[in-house]
């Protein structure tokens, strides 16, 4: 009595549990006949159980989800070790801050403008056609100051200060690397 085939239509698998003849009596014709019967059974099962959709230019057969779990070709990758900074941040409870991008909303203009660079928000007040003069500064120095020029100089000083800090940091890093 032949054993019925077991089908996994999602993976297009037909399992034939019927034994083949003894190993010394197996011929190429026996193997070909068993493969043909399995393929025919799989096609019959697909055409009888899966929904078929016909369009003007094609016929589509929708397969169900696969039942058999297939093994991975390669092992599951190992977790990457944490960097020294990640270990330190975890120990101290430091979390990455959200990067909010380069744009900021300008209430006066009613549009999004860059924080820095061409037409940047950091240059506000440098090119205003009307600026308020600080009377206290004028009394101390005795001469009227150029407010626009002062704002430009403040911004340039901030940039230079930041560049100095960056240079010092790179020097410290190079010294630490040399000591290792």
Cα separation, 48 vs 51, in Å, equals: 8
Tell me the percentage of the chain whose pLDDT exceeds 90: 42
In a domain, 108, yes or no: yes
Q: Three-state DSSP class for 25?
A: coil
Mean pLDDT of 44-62: 91
* Domain assignment of residue 155, yes or no: yes
* pLDDT grade for 144, boundaries at 50, 70 and 90: low
Q: Is residue 120 part of a domain?
A: yes
Q: Is residue 81 part of a domain?
A: no
With cut-offs at 50, 70 and 90, classify the pLDDT of residue 72. Answer: confident
Same domain, 179 and 139: yes
Domain presence at residue 67:
no
DSSP string, 118-129: TT-GGGTTSS-S
Q: Which of 78, 70, 47 is nearest to 60 (CA)?
A: 47
Q: Checking phi first, is residue 52 left (phi over 0); if not, alpha (psi -120 to 50) or beta?
A: beta
Same domain, 123 and 158: no
In a domain, 91, yes or no: no
Decide if pLDDT at 102 tops 70: yes
Whether residue 142 has pLDDT greater than 70: no
Tally of domains in the chain: 3
Q: pLDDT: is 47 or 143 the higher one?
A: 47
Beta bridge partners of 105: 112
Range of the domain at 116: 102-127
């Amino acid at each position: 009595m032949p054993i019925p085939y077991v089908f996994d239509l999602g993976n297009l698998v037909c399992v034939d549990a019927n034994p083949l003849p003894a190993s010394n009596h197996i011929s190429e014709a026996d193997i070909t006949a068993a493969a043909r019967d399995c393929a025919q059974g799989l096609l019959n099962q697909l055409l009888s159980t899966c929904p078929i959709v016909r369009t003007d230019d094609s016929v589509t057969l929708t397969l169900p989800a696969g039942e058999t779990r297939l093994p991975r070709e390669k092992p599951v990758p190992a977790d990457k070790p944490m960097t020294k900074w990640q270990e330190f941040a975890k120990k101290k409870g430091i979390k990455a801050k959200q990067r909010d991008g380069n744009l900021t909303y300008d209430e006066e203009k009613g549009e999004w403008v860059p924080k820095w660079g061409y037409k940047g928000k950091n240059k506000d007040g440098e090119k205003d056609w009307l600026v308020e003069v600080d009377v206290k500064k004028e009394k101390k120095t005795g001469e009227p100051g150029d407010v626009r020029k002062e704002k430009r100089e403040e911004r340039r000083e901030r940039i230079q200060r930041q560049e100095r800090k960056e240079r010092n940091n790179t020097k410290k890093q190079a010294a630490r690397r040399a000591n290792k």
